[in-house]
Every structure is written in structure tokens, then in C-alpha cells.
Chains A and B, each alone.
Chain A
Amino acid sequence: MSKPDLSVEIAGIKLKNPVMPASGCFGYGREYSKYYSLSKLGAVVVKATTLKRRLGNPTPRVTEVTAGMLNAIGLANPGVEQVVKEELPWLADQNVPIIVNIAGETVSEYCQVAEIISHSGLAQAVELNVSCPNVKLGGLTFGADPVILADLVRQVKKVCCIPVIVKLSPNVTSITELALAAEQAGADGISLINTLIGMKIDLKTRKPVLANKIGGLSGPAIKPVALRMVYETARIVNIPIIGMGGIYKGEDAVEFIMAGASGVMVGTANFTDPYACPKIIAGIESFMIAQGLKSLEDIRGCAL
């Protein structure tokens, strides 16, 4: 049998396979490029980029929990100018599409970062991380209110000439309402889910382990929630969906594709195994061979 075709197209970007490391879990790619060629990946999603440099939260910032981990990094990054100057040119030479995750505390900050990234010509898409608190609106996250989210997406779309993917937070009452708002405001794709808010307490100190007290839960523990949210979203939007949350194996990725995702992102698994992404790609391929699938389109959304 001929090799199955793993390629997918998301928001007009052609990817050789649906697997991309998730934002914040892969730095700017340099570290993992020592383990394998980044050109094996569908795309690389880099850390959240903000207008100004951010040092992030105090430590401890990470801790392990049952079947997952908590993080409260606090969007540490050198700022968009430095990212465009020092990080993206190197990554752009690795022969892999680049998606830049961006964050901000005001609509204008998101817009400025998106515009700089878009003008740099170094990235194929931006991904809006809308889990940050909106400072102007008293700290409510951009991703928690459909009206605020739609306005943000509309403003960013005006200044950004590359596709805009909106990354939804699971810490909301209705994920579908937000997905629809993003689609109607012109988003080119939706990625989900970001981390769920959690906590761990140290029995010896009797205090939360993380200096920030609360942090984002990721890893296999969140996979059923993520899958449900991808499924619900896929039933109501027409733009492409990128699913993530606890993907550790090829089979996990296939589940997300069956739930309607065009692509998948892999976060925590990179920490457990630096070769996680290439192994997941190989796992998807083996599944396709075993099932006699020629293309991922044969199964995408089949569970809906």
C-alpha cells in the first residue's frame, strides 16, 4: 500500500502533518532541534509574545499532579521586537511553518504585536491567547465574554495580514458561544483548549505549591474535557479547529481528529519525552496504515 497522506490545510496554510508543539511548551524551537529536525513537524507554535518584555511569575512555577502538571509561568518572554530580531529568523530557516502565540492586556497591545509579527514576514499565522486578563475591563479575561472577544478579533484582523487563530480558554461556561463569536468576528481558525485553572497544596508547608498559588492544568488529566470541547465546537463552526489537551500518543491525536479537529497541538508531552511530537506523527501514520486510510479527511469529524 502507498504511504498514507498526513498533510492537512489549516486557515490556508499547508502542513505536512497535523502535529504542532503547543505554545509555551517548545520555547522558540532551539532546544528540541537538538533532538530532531523541526522540519518533521506540521508547524511550530512559539511562546506567548507580548509587546514589552515580561519576566513572569515568581517560582515555583511548575509542579506535577496526577496525570498532569500545573504551570504559572506568567507569560515570560523577551518582547515582540526581540522575538522578531533574535528568535524567528532562526526558526524561519528550519523549513517549518511558524505560528506566533500573542498576548496582551489591552486590545491595542494585541494589535501592535500582531501587526509587528505580520509585517515581519517570518510567521505564517498568529494565535491569540485570550486567557489573559483585560486590564481595561477590570481583569476579566478576553476569552470569557463573547462581546469582548469578538471586538478583539475584529481589531486584530484589521491590522494583521496573516491568518488569525483564536485560542480558547476552557475556563468558561459555554465554549460554543465564544467559538461562534470568534468565527463571526472573522477568525481564520480556532485552537483549544488552553489550560484549566487548578491548585496543589504542599502538606508540609500547608500552603499552595505554586508561588502564584493557582496555575494552569495540562496533560492527560484534561484530555476528556478538551475532546468534549473540540467536539462541541466542531458541531457549530465552519472554520478549522486545532485540538489539544493531553495528547501523548498517535491514538490521542486521532481521537481529536475524529471529534472534528484539522490539526493537533502537543504541549506537556514534550516534557515527558522530547521525541513526543515525532512519535505522535508516527503513531498517526501507523493508525492510518492499520485502518487503510489514505487521508485524514477520511476520518475528520466522523464522530460528530
Chain B
Amino acid sequence: MILEIEYINNLTSDIWEMKLNGDFPFNNVQAGQFINIRIKDSYDHLLRRPISIAEANTDMQSLTIVFRVVGQGTKWLSQRQKGDKLDVMGPLGVGFPLPDYNRKVLIVGGGVGVPPLYQLAVDVSKYTKNVHILLGFRNARECFWQEKFADKGELVIATEDGSRGVRGFVTDALKAYKSYWDYVYACGPRPMLKALKQYFQGQDVKGYVSLEERMACGVGACYGCVCSSEDRGENFRICKEGPVFPWGEVDI
């Protein structure tokens, strides 16, 4: 489907926020799902770029994505302007299952794993007021959407250099909490997800992680984007069975 860029905005030196509207099933978006974006109508980039849905606003009939420029595709995206059209597929994949009412929830994000957690925080806040949000960035200049998240739960920021919030990784910041949680939701670099899974090993929490892998089709047809099950006995397609998985089911 074709969506129109309502605005594009620079959040940090290399992270951009883009709002899209048009004919899209905004009402059917589950936090953690993604869209697959065509880069130029040419043979330069044949594979679409998967980007998580950061916010789906049913009233405004709009979709917001946040992405970091890391290569040619995301660079091209960052150079689009208001009014330009984008060819997208979605919403794709399976997102985060929401908690039962009034449970204690921890949301953990790192870097560009943070965006999809915003829609999650919006949805989760309809089920419980007990929401802790812990976001990790490299430094203060890399932080984004702090106010938006602060509005949805009790927010703690961790930066690797200590230029904002707690110094260190999110797993370091975790040690300062005197709390337990029923649900932990996470999206970010694999080492962070792995550390989290280990940290909560043996505890009675439901943990969900969102994974990334290089994709071709984005719909489950090519078996390009697999991850292995915890016992490595079978594979799941991240684009179709994921990108969100209960952390006990996958080998992170």
C-alpha cells in the first residue's frame, strides 16, 4: 500500500522520526509489529527495509516510525520529504501480547529497539498503572522520546557514559530497583536481550523479546529470517512467528 509522509523530523544526529498516513489498517496494529518499506522504485534496492511501528494512531489515522541511518536504504528514507509517498507492506508479524489487568510491568529498550516500545507502553497503560520503563542509550545526545515515555510509566534512563540518568547498561540499572514484575517486555540489541533473559532466569515472570534478522520477503515465504528455538531443535521465522517471542521459547 502507498502511504504519504505527513512529516519527517530529525531526533538525534542519525535518528529520524517519520509520520505516515493513508490507507492502512491502523486499527489492527499490535505493538511490536513492523512495516516493510520499499526503497526507491528502481533495481537499486530490491529488498524492503523492515521498520517497527512506533505508534499507530487510530484517531489521526497515522503511523509513526523511528529509524537510525545505518546504510543506503535508511539514508534514502531520511531524505524523503513531507508529501512524498512510500510503498509499504504491513502490519507484519506478531507483536507483544498485552498483560492481564493491574499487573506489574517492566518495559526495557535499547537504542533503536526503543521505538516499538512506545506503542506497547500506550497499550499496556490501558491495563495497568504499574509500569516501569527502562531505556538505554549510548549517551545523552542519543536519547529520544523521553517525554513521551515518561507520560506512560515510571521512566529510568541509562546511558553508557553516564551523561544522562544511570551510568551503564540497562542491566546495571536494573539492580537498583526494589521491585518484582509479572511481565517484562524488551526490544534492543541481542546482548541486552540475552543479559535480561539471564537476569530473570528462574524468576516467575513472563518475558517477551523482539528479535531482528536480515529479511527478504518479510511475510514468511523465504525462510531467510529464522531464529532457533531454545533447544535449537527447530526454527521460527522472525517475520511471521515473531518478531516478538516469549523469551523461554527462543535461543537468544
Binding site for B on A (CB under 8 A): 24-27, 30-32, 34, 47, 55-56, 59-64, 66-69, 71, 73, 76, 219-220, 248, 268, 270-274
Within 8 Å CB of A27, what residues of B? 220-223
- Give the interface size bracket for B toward A: 20 to 34
Q: Is the interface of A mostly helix, strand, loop or mixed?
A: loop
Number of A-B pairs, beta carbon distance below 8 Å = 91
Residue B234 contacts which of A25, A55, A66 (CB distance < 8 angstroms)? A55
Q: How far is the CA of A120 from the CA of B41 in the complex (A)?
A: 42
Binding site for A on B (CB under 8 A): 38, 43-48, 89, 213-228, 234-235, 240
**B46 with A272: CB separation less than 8 A:** yes
**A62 with B215: CB separation less than 8 A:** yes
**A32 with B221: CB separation less than 8 A:** yes
**A59 with B227: CB separation less than 8 A:** yes
Q: How far is the CA of A62 from the CA of B226 in the complex (A)?
A: 11
Q: Given known contacts A60-B213, A62-B214, A271-B48, is B221 in contact with A31 (CB within 8 Å)?
A: yes
Q: How far is the CA of A24 from the CA of B221 in the complex (A)?
A: 7
What is the chain A residue whose CB lies nearest that of B224?
A: A62
Q: How far is the CA of A47 from the CA of B226 in the complex (A)?
A: 16
Max chain B C-beta neighbours (<10 A), residue from A62, A63, A270: A62
Q: How far is the CA of A249 from the CA of B43 in the complex (A)?
A: 12
Within 8 Å CB of A24, what residues of B? 222-223
**A270 with B221: CB separation less than 8 A:** yes
What is the chain A residue whose CB lies nearest that of B49?
A: A64
Within 8 Å CB of B45, what residues of A? 64
What is the chain A residue whose CB lies nearest that of B229?
A: A55
**B48 with A62: CB separation less than 8 A:** no
Residue A71 contacts which of B89, B220, B221, B222 (CB distance < 8 angstroms)? B222
Within 8 Å CB of A73, what residues of B? 222-224
Can you list 7 A-B contacts (CB < 8 A)? A25-B221, A55-B235, A67-B43, A69-B46, A271-B48, A271-B216, A272-B38
**B48 with A56: CB separation less than 8 A:** no
Residue A56 contacts which of B219, B227, B235 (CB distance < 8 angstroms)? B235
